[in-house]
Amino acid sequence: MAQLACENLWVGYDGTAVLQNLNFEVHTGDCLCVVGENGSGKSTLMKTILGLQPPVRGRILTGDGLKKNEIGYLPQQTVVQKDFPASVWEIVLSGCQGRCGLRPFYNKAEKQLAAQAMERMQITPLAGRCYRELSGGQQQRVLLARALCATRKMLLLDEPVSGLDPKATAEMYRLIEELNRRDSITVVMISHDVAAAVNYASHILHIGDTVFFGTKTDYLQSRQGRLFASEKGGDGNV
């Protein structure tokens, strides 16, 4: 059974679709990379999967024990968010809000979960630091730790290395790969980096004038994959 399935899905805003007739499945342990040109609807799709906006048409189904409130989310950061005046500990712990229900405080188990997520992301020494004082790479680790507080099943990552320098980018990809392959957390990741997509993905969803969904091997052999990889600097032999 698929952990996540989109059936005849149309997504967009105010009833106007930017993507139509999407059909794909994500299974436990998959790493799905979503690629496509700017403005093609990748982030809109992710927000629709999360329930942050309704689909224009079609269905989004969860299975294999996954509930919609068990999906961790790392969004693209705005300038305002990067300057958020909270401590690292407060931001990571906020990832447990979905576990609190109507309870207006975090319990011991949730605080322990946040501490474990920080340790996993190697940011424990930063707990008392103000978020806005951190480097871009450190901020992304904090947000990934927050996402881990919400789930041990599926992560949705929207351009997780955007704006990072090469060293921080490599480190972020390493952490994501470990979460997927070692911890068996399913990953759905939007990326403009086709080389990274074919390195780390098990499957590719290419959104554009036509839609491709399949394994990365099939994608690299497809016309879309070869063309997009050559335009974006990817390597068809990866």
- Three-state SS at 73: strand
Mean pLDDT confidence for 182-209: 89
Q: What percent of the chain has pLDDT over 90?
A: 63
pLDDT at res. 15: 82
Residue 229, classed as helix, strand or coil, is helix
Alpha-carbon gap, residue 235 to 74, rounded angstroms: 27
Would you call 38 exposed, middle or buried from its count of C-beta atoms within 10 A (0-12, 13-18, 19+)?
Answer: exposed
What does the mean pLDDT of the chain come to? 88
User: Is residue 114 scored above 80 in pLDDT?
Assistant: yes
Q: How many helices (H) and strands (E) does the chain have?
A: 10, 9
Give all domains of the chain, ordered by start, each with its CATH number.
1-66+153-238 (3.40.50.300), 77-152 (no CATH)
Q: Which residue has the tokens 């491709």?
A: 212
**How confident is the model at residue 76, as a pLDDT?**
84
The answer to whether the beta carbons of residues 110 and 93 sit under 8 Å apart is yes
User: Which pLDDT band holds residue 238 (cuts at 50, 70, 90)?
Assistant: very low
Rounded to an integer, the average pLDDT of 216-234 is 76
- Mean pLDDT of the region 150-163: 91
Which residue would you say has higher pLDDT here, 201 or 81?
A: 201
Q: What is the pTM of this model?
A: 0.87
| Percent share of the chain, pLDDT over 70 | 93
